[in-house]
Amino acid sequence: MDRPSPRRDERGTATSEYAVGTLGAAACGAALISLARTDWFPDLVEELLRGALEPFTLVELVRDRLGGFPRVGRR
């Protein structure tokens, strides 16, 4: 039960794919760290968490920002 060896031109493909994925993850992490160091980001996170914990906050946000709810169904 010998596995066929990969062709020469495919050697290192998995390694390079992992490298690209690692670089992408590092870039996303760097972007999040730079955002977290801004003045407004912690306030935004706090507002989002408070909104998620309060059940009617989303309803109020939609009502205030969009000027009401769209009508659904027959007119």
Q: What is the pTM of this model?
A: 0.47
38-48 exposure pattern, b = at least 16 Cβ within 10 A, e = fewer: eeeeeeeeeee
Residue 72 lies in a domain: no
- Three-state helix/strand/coil letters over 48-67: HHHHHHCCCHHHHHHHHHHC
Q: What pLDDT shows up at residue 28?
A: 96
Q: What pLDDT shows up at residue 57?
A: 67
Q: DSSP 3-state assignment of 75?
A: coil
Residue 6 lies in a domain: no
Residue 3 lies in a domain: no
Q: What pLDDT shows up at residue 58?
A: 67
Instruction: Report the C-alpha gap between 21 and 75 in whole angstroms.
Output: 51
Enclosing domain of residue 53? 12-66
Q: What pLDDT shows up at residue 70?
A: 58
